[in-house]
Amino acid sequence: MATAKERYDSLTSDRTQFLSEAEEASKLTLPYLVRGHEEHQGGMKNLHTPWQSVGAKGVVALASKLSLSLVPPQTSFFKLQVDESQLGMDFGPEVKSELDLSFAKIERTILDAIAASDDRVVIHQALQHLVVAGNALIFMGKEGLKLFPLNRYVIERDGNGAVIEIVTKERINKELIEEYLPKQDEILSVNDEAVTTVGKNECDIYTHVTRDNNRFLWHQEVYGQVIPKSISKAPVDATPWIPLRFNTVDGEPYGRGRVGQFIGDLKSLEALSQALVEGSAAAAKVVFVVSPSSTTKPQTLATAGNGAIVQGRPDDIGVVQVGKTADFQTAYQLMATLEKRLNEAFLILSVRDSERTTAQEVQMTQLELEQQLGGLFGLLTVEFLVPYLNRKLSVFQKTGEIPRIPKGMVKPIIVAGINALGRGQDVQALGAFLQTIAQTMGPEAIQQYINPDEVIKRLAAAQGIDVLNLVKSVQEIQAEQQQQAQQQQQLEMTKGMPNMMKAPMLDPSKNPELAEQMELQASPETEPPLE
C-alpha cells in the first residue's frame, strides 16, 4: 500500500498546470495568495508588485459579495422544515407552528455559534482563493475552520466529479508530535526527500483522506508512518473535508478561477499601466542644458541656491523636456475601457454620481450584475453550503447543543445564494406584474381580478418569510367580518330601544301585565319558609 507522501507526489502532476495558472493569476491580483510549489519558506517572501490595483480590488469585492450572499451576517442562510413527502402525512397548523418554533431555536443556536467563531473570516479567505486560483479546501475541525490553498493539497475525483481521495501536506514543528515520531535511525532509513530538505526542528506531515462507500476515512502520516491518534472517519453527508471549485470543466479534478477568465484584460491593463507609469516618469523629467561657449559654468548653476546671483547669460541656459504627454491619451482611453470591463466582470459597481441617479437605477444595475453569477451560486450551494450545514448539524447533535433530529423527518433548506437571488427576482417580477395591470386596466382591476391572499403568500415565499400565524387566513377574515356585522346589528338594535319603549304594548302604564311582570322581576327573591 502506498504511503500518503507517495500518493501526494503521484497526484501532483495533475495539479501542475492548474497551479501554474493560479500563480500567474495571483501575480496580477493578490500575489500573496498563491506562491507556487515553494509553499514552505521561512520568513517573508519577496512578491511581485502589480502595476495596477484593479485586479486586487476586483478579487476583494467579488469575494465580499459572495460571502455576504452565501453566509449573510444578519439573516439565516438555511431553514429547517418537516419533509411531509417522506412521512406521508400532513400536519395541522398547530403542529406546524410548534415545529417551526422548535426549528427556529435550532437555527438561532447554529447562527449564534457561527457568529461567535471565525468561520466567516476563513470563508472569505477561501472565496478569495476561489476567485483567483479556482480551488480551495476547507477542513471543519473542532477548533474551527482551516483553509488549505491549492499548493498544499491534491485531489482525485471520479467521472461524476465526486471526491474519492484527498492528500494534504503541512510543515509543523517536531515538538508538536514528538511522541509519535519514529527513532532517528528509522527516519534515515526512509527514502524521503523531506529528510534532507526540512530543517532539524520541522517535518512534513501528510493527511490522507479516502472514500469508502458512504463514508470518508482519513489519517496522518509522518516519515511514512501513521500517527495512531489521527485515524478518523465520518459519513459522506457530514464530512469535515469540503473541497471547493469556482468553475468546473467536465473531467478535470480542479476548478478554474474567475481571474483566469479575464486574464487577457488583466495582462493588457498591467502592460499599459507599466508603460504609462514609466513613460510619465520620463516625460516628467526636466534637464537643464548650458551652451558650450557660455561663460556660465554648469557646476555653478547646479550649486547655486534660491535667489543666488551668478555670472552668465540667460540665453545660454535652456530646458529640455520630452513633451509627449498628449501621446498618452490613447493609452488612457484603452485603460479606461479595460478597467470598465473588469469592473463589470468582478461586480464592482460604478454608480453615476449625479442628481439624476435614482435608487431604482442602482437596484436594476445590481440585479443585472448578480444575474451573471447565478450558476456560480448554484455550484457553491451544492459544494459548500450543503456540506457546511450538514457538518454543523452533525457536530451540534453529537455535542448535545441541539436536540437529535430524526433522519428523514427534517430536511434543511438553503435560502441563500441562488435561492436568495431568485426570491429577489420573484418580488420584482410580481411587483412589475401588478403595476402593469394597474396601468393598463386601472387600479380597480386589481381588486376585481387579483386574489390578495395569494399575493401575500407569494410575496412572503419570495422573501423567505413564514406566514404561519402571521397573516390571517381567508376563514379568519370571514369570521371577523361576520362578528363585526353581528356587533353592528346589535348596536343598531340598541339604538332603537328608546323608540320601541314608546310603543303601547311596551309602555307599563298602558299594559298592566307588563307592569306586574316588571314588579316581580324587581322584587327580591324570598326563601321558602322552614317547616
Q: Is residue 387 part of a domain?
A: no
Asked whether the predicted pLDDT for residue 151 surpasses 90, the reply is yes
Asked whether the predicted pLDDT for residue 188 surpasses 50, the reply is no
Asked whether the predicted pLDDT for residue 16 surpasses 80, the reply is yes
360 phi, psi to nearest 5 deg: -65, -40
Please indicate, yes or no, whether residues 234 and 316 belong to a single structural domain of this protein. Answer: no
Give the angle subtended at the CA of 123 by the CAs of 121 and 129, to the nearest 5°.
Answer: 110
Please indicate, yes or no, whether residues 202 and 293 belong to a single structural domain of this protein. Answer: no
Residue-by-residue DSSP string for 251-299: T-SS-B-HHHHTHHHHHHHHHHHHHHHHHHHHHT--EEEE-TT-SS-HH
Please indicate, yes or no, whether residues 62 and 188 belong to a single structural domain of this protein. Answer: yes
pLDDT of 531 reads 46
Q: What mean pLDDT comes out for the span 466-484?
A: 76
Please indicate, yes or no, whether residues 95 and 184 belong to a single structural domain of this protein. Answer: yes
Q: Does an H or E element contain 508, and which?
A: none
Asked whether the predicted pLDDT for residue 195 surpasses 70, the reply is no
- How many domains does the chain fold into? 3
pLDDT of 197 reads 46
Cα(182)–Cα(203) distance, integer angstroms: 12
Please indicate, yes or no, whether residues 228 and 199 belong to a single structural domain of this protein. Answer: yes
Q: Is residue 411 part of a domain?
A: no
Q: Residue 269 sits in which domain range?
A: 262-304+311-348
Q: What is each CA distance from 351 to 335, 356, 421, in whole angstroms?
A: 19, 11, 21
Mean confidence (pLDDT) of the chain: 80
Least-confidence region, from 56-70, 139-153, 285-299, 313-327 = 313-327
pLDDT confidence bin for 68, thresholds 50/70/90 = confident
Considering only residues 462 and 158, tell me which one the structure prediction assigns the higher pLDDT.
158
Cα(65)–Cα(347) distance, integer angstroms: 8
Q: Is residue 336 part of a domain?
A: yes
Please indicate, yes or no, whether residues 209 and 278 belong to a single structural domain of this protein. Answer: no
Highest mean pLDDT among 83-97, 240-254, 309-323, 425-439: 240-254
Please indicate, yes or no, whether residues 142 and 188 belong to a single structural domain of this protein. Answer: yes
**Hey, what's the cell of 16?**
501542475
Q: What mean pLDDT comes out for the span 473-484?
A: 81
- 65 three-state secondary structure: helix
Q: Is residue 465 part of a domain?
A: no
